[in-house]
Chains A and B, each alone.
Chain A
Amino acid sequence: MSDTWSVAGRSFTSRLIVGTGKYKSFEQNAAAVAASGAQIVTVAVRRVNISDPGQPMLTDHIDPDKTTYLPNTAGCFTAEEAIRTLRLAREAGGWDLVKLEVLGEAKTLYPDMRETLKATETLVKEGFKPMVYCVDDPIAAKQLEEAGAVAIMPLGAPIGSGLGIQNRVTIRLIVEGAGVPVLVDAGVGTASDASVAMELGCDGVLMNTAIAEAKDPVMMAKAMKLAVESGRLAYLAGRMGQRRYADPSSPLAGLI
Chain B
Amino acid sequence: MVTDDTLSIRVNGAHRRVRDGMSVAQLALELGLEPTKVAVERNLEIVPRSTLAEVKVEDGDDYEIVTFVGGG
Question: Which residues of A are at the interface with B, using a C-beta cutoff of 8 A?
Answer: 19-23, 26, 29, 42-48, 50, 53-54, 57-59, 64, 69, 71-72, 74, 84, 87-89, 91-93, 159-160, 208-209
Residue B14 lies at the interface, judged by CB distance under 8 Å to chain A: yes
**Which A residues touch B47, using CB under 8 A?**
91
List which B1-36 residues lie within 8 A (CB) of chain A.
11-14, 31-33
Given contacts A50-B31, A53-B32, A74-B72, whether A59 and B37 have CB atoms under 8 Å apart is yes
Q: Chain B residues with Cβ under 8 A from A160's Cβ?
A: 72
Give me 19 other A-B pairs in contact (C-beta within 8 A), A20-B72, A45-B66, A91-B46 excluded.
A20-B70, A22-B70, A22-B72, A29-B70, A44-B69, A45-B69, A46-B67, A48-B66, A53-B32, A53-B33, A54-B32, A72-B72, A74-B71, A84-B44, A88-B41, A88-B64, A93-B68, A208-B72, A209-B72
Interface SS of A by simple majority: mixed
One of A71, A74, A84, A209 near B68 (C-beta < 8 A): A71
CB-defined contacts of B46 to chain A, threshold 8 Å: 87-88, 91
Q: Decide: A88 and B66 in contact? CB cutoff 8 A.
A: yes
A22 to chain B minimum Cβ distance, whole angstroms, is 7
Q: Which residues of A contact B49 (CB under 8 A)?
A: 91
How far is B32's CA from A57's CA once the two chains are assembled, in angstroms? 13
Interface residues on B, range: 20 to 34
Kindly state whether residue B55 has any CB partner on chain A within 8 Å.
no
CA distance A92 to B44 in the complex (A): 15
Q: Which residues of B contact A20 (CB under 8 A)?
A: 69-72
Q: How far is the CB of B65 from chain A (nearest CB, A)?
A: 5
Q: Which residues of B contact A19 (CB under 8 A)?
A: 70-72
B36's nearest neighbour on chain A, judged by CB, is A92
Question: Do the beta carbons of A45 and B72 come within 8 Å of each other?
Answer: no
Q: For the complex, what is the distance from the CA of A97 to the CA of B71, rounded to whole Å?
A: 16
Please indicate the chain A residues that have their CB under 8 angstroms from the CB of B39 in the complex.
45, 88-89, 91-92
Does B38 interact with chain A (Cβ within 8 Å)? yes
